[in-house]
Amino acid sequence: MCGIVGYVGQHAVGPILLKGLKRLEYRGYDSSGVALFDEGGRSETFKAAGKIAAIEPMVLAKDQTLFHGGIGHTRWATHGAPNTTNAHPHRVKDLVLVHNGIIENYREIQKLVYARGYKPVSETDSELFAFLVMFEMEEHKIDLIEGVRRAFPKIHGSSSVVIMSEKQPGLIVAVRNGSPLVAGWNKEFGAIVASDAQPILDHTNKVYYLENGDMIVCQKSGIQFFDAYSGKPVERKEVTIDWSADRLDKNGYAHYMLKEIHEQPRTILDTLHAYFEDQTHRPFEFAKNAGIDQLSAAQRLSIIACGTSWHAGLLGRYWFERYTHLPVDTDLASEFRYRNSHFTPGQVVMGISQSGETADTLAVLQDVNKNKVPTLAITNVKGSTISREAKSIFYTYAGPEIGVASTKAFTAQMLMLVLLAGRLGRDLAVNDSQGKKMIEIDRLYRELFEVPHYLSMALETGGSTANAVKKAAQDTLHSKAFFFIGRGYSFPLALEGALKLKEIAYVHAEGYAAGELKHGPIAMLEPGVTVIVIAPKDIWYDKTVSNLQEVKARGAKIVAVGHADDKTLASMADHFIPLPLQSKKPDGQSTLDESLTPFLISPILQLLSYEIALSKGTDIDQPRNLAKSVTVE
Ligand code: M6R
């Protein structure tokens, strides 16, 4: 979605805005622009379709000592094509603005603008807001701050706007209703406002999250906070972000996605350490998290999410069902939202969202809160809108995820779900004195600490797993279609594997429960099609191998993922990708419980998609048409 950066202060404005916009590139965009303001109030605007690199030379060619403020924008087109005219900032007389969101009543405003004898330059809804502000200012003889305040309630839908005026050049006014805005200030630097904390972290790690309905006035001397509707001052708490700016860089990797895939052993440990009381592998207490009490009291758990987070939720259902007696359903937020869902006593609704900003997931939590049903959320972003909407929150510790395709955040969500399922299951086992169940869950926790070790082996460049992934990618990249199949835990992984491949390699890929193959998709199997069979040695193994045989009989190419010692799978597949794991220890015990193999399989599938996309030469970190956080419906 669109990205916004605004800055007033004593440092060179152009480079700060450009760097800030680059930090927001991950959100996805198709044009960009920057406006620079000098002390005397003159402004210059630089805009272009395509990447930020297209405006960078124009901005940097300017004498930066002239400017002391400005705003920048990356646009993800909604109203009007991605071209230079529609790129932000938009200018109406002395006003220059950038906008993120959708103005739902834009037709009405457009009519008003034409009726008053003006003709907007762009096809965007955004430009229209500048006219509204201008009308207010002219009609009531008021300044920019008051003009924005009077105009803002007149637009419908979810929007955030950052606006400057040539008549008050030392001032940025920003207002939020929906799309997030974050601000930061320090004496030496000045004031900055952006769509998320990442452009701010290069300058300060102390930030303020704007609430819906907040308006701020940024000057180099500080930031003032107001209620946009009443105009009364409000207080906002300063939040310290614990992500350092260097975690926002590629650190030598060719792509953020590759870096983030390789970060997973560490992020799993970070999340484990955040939730276990110590490193003795004893069951953790989640000491002060009220969400645990909510879950313990739950009679039914409804998980809602979108995209990859929904896949994590589907996996969550398997873990909750294995370790607890809690009935669980997992639903797409966009569907749940418009169904006639009937809440039952004791129901708890859990939203999962990496960004904490996804519009559909947020809307469900808002509706559920109105119905007085307890809400929980799992998110990776502190201070995000969802983290503030849910009654209780479990943070994952994946760190900033920049690649549009979610990787390490997905793994961290899975981890949070298995931890919660185990925590709840252990409570039940204690109460029912089920010794066996308790031992099972204690073992689960112990083994979770072994996952980073196995995962490091799987991802090791030149290792047998990574090599097999590379070979399979090279041999299958021209396939006309891919099917990912699996049963049990491997079914959501199949969905996720296919989504990842679609997103970054732009090839036709479908994920299926292996048992569903013969109910339709088998008709498509023939030479030239590749089927990725996810078949670790688990309770579903024999059934999945039967499905593999059906695939083989139709001439499709098979890439199988399974335990390293699985000779059957290795002999049947065209490519066998070994997990760095034997199915049994010498004493006959399995090396890692079957419920934990998703933590190894998912990163392997991510790597497979990455390798295919790399060979195809696609834009891996910012795939076409996609946005990192989907803040509109
Ligand atoms: O931020 P969220 O987890 O709520 O995002 C949900 C989806 O938009 C997201 O998972 C999307 O599917 C990713 N591009 C997947 O890689």
What digits encode the pLDDT tens for the residues 23-47?
888 777 889 999 999 988 899 999 9
Judged against a pLDDT cut of 80, whether residue 220 lies above it is answered with yes
Is residue 390 located within the same domain as residue 418? Answer: yes
Best residue among 26, 315, 354, 609 to mutate for probing ligand 1, ranked by most atoms within 8 Å of CB: 354
Looking at the structure of the chain, the number of domains it has is: 3
438 and 474, same structural domain?
Answer: no
Q: Which of 196, 229, 248 is the last residue of a domain?
A: 248
Q: Is residue 533 situated within a structural domain?
A: yes
435 pLDDT more than 80: no
| Three-state secondary-structure class, residue 66 | helix
pLDDT value of position 288: 65
Closest C-alpha to 132, from 118, 146, 145, 113: 113
Atom of ligand 1 nearest to the CA of 354: 3
Same domain membership, residue 263 and residue 221: no
Between the CA of 362 and the centroid of ligand 1 the distance, in Å, is 13
Per-residue pLDDT at 287 exceeds 70: no
For position 442, what pLDDT does the model report? 83
Check if the beta carbon of residue 109 is closer than 8 Å to that of residue 131: yes
199 and 55 belong to one structural domain: yes
d(CA 430, CA 564): 36
Residue 14 has phi, psi (to 5 degrees) of -55, -55
Nearest residue (by CA) to ligand 1, atom 11, is 307
The candidate with the shortest Cα–Cα distance to 6, out of 50, 86, 71, 56, is 71
Model pLDDT for residues 529-575, shown as the tens digit of each residue:
999 999 999 999 999 999 999 999 899 999 999 999 999 999 999 99
On whether both 123 and 225 belong to a single domain, the answer is: yes
Domain assignment of residue 11, yes or no: yes
628 vs 442, higher pLDDT = 442
CB 441 near ligand 1, within 6 Å? no
277 pLDDT tier (thresholds 50, 70, 90):
low
Q: Examine the domain organization and report whether 8 and 68 are in the same domain.
A: yes
Region for 129 from its dihedrals, namely left if φ exceeds 0, alpha if ψ lies in -120 to 50, beta otherwise: alpha
pLDDT tops 90 at residue 285: no
- Kindly state the DSSP code that residue 219 receives in the 8-state scheme: E
Distance CA 347, CA 264 (A): 33
Span from the CA of 307 to the centroid of ligand 1 (angstroms): 5
Amino acid residing at 332: L
| 564/512 same-domain check | yes
258 with 343, same domain: the answer is yes
Task: Say if ligand 1 is within 6 A of residue 43 CB.
Answer: no
Asked whether residue 454 is domain-assigned, the answer is: no
263 with 128, same domain? no
> Which residue do the tokens 């070994």 mark?
578
Give domain status of residue 455, yes or no: no
pLDDT over 90 percentage in the chain: 72
Where residue 633 sits, what CATH number does that domain have? 3.40.50.10490
The tokens for 31 are: 């044009």
Residues with a catalytic annotation lie at 2, 628
Which ligand 1 atom sits nearest the alpha carbon of residue 405?
16
Distance 621 CA to ligand 1 centre (A): 14
User: Cβ neighbours of residue 364 under 8 Å, at least 6 residues apart?
Assistant: 304, 333, 336, 337, 349, 351
The Cβ of residue 299 has, within 10 Å, a number of other Cβ atoms equal to 11
Which residue has 């990574």 as its token pair?
A: 466
Q: Say if 361 falls within a structural domain.
A: yes
What is the span of the domain harbouring residue 549?
460-633
Residue that terminates a domain, selected from 430, 449, 468: 449
The response to whether residue 307 sits with its C-beta less than 6 Å from ligand 1 reads: yes
Residue 630: CB within 6 Å of ligand 1? yes
302 and 175 in a common domain? no
Q: Is 210 helix (H, G, I), strand (E, B) or coil?
A: coil
Domain endpoint, select from 248, 269, 286? 248
- Please indicate, yes or no, whether residues 389 and 494 belong to a single structural domain of this protein: no
CATH number of domain containing 172: 3.60.20.10
Instruction: Return mean pLDDT, the chain.
Output: 91
Could you tell me if residue 69 is inside a domain? yes
Q: Please answer whether residues 327 and 347 qualify as being in contact, where contact means their C-beta atoms are separated by less than 8 angstroms.
A: no
Residues 16 and 157 in one domain: yes
- Name the one residue in this structure whose structure tokens are 């590629």: 250
Which residue type is seen at 446?
A: R
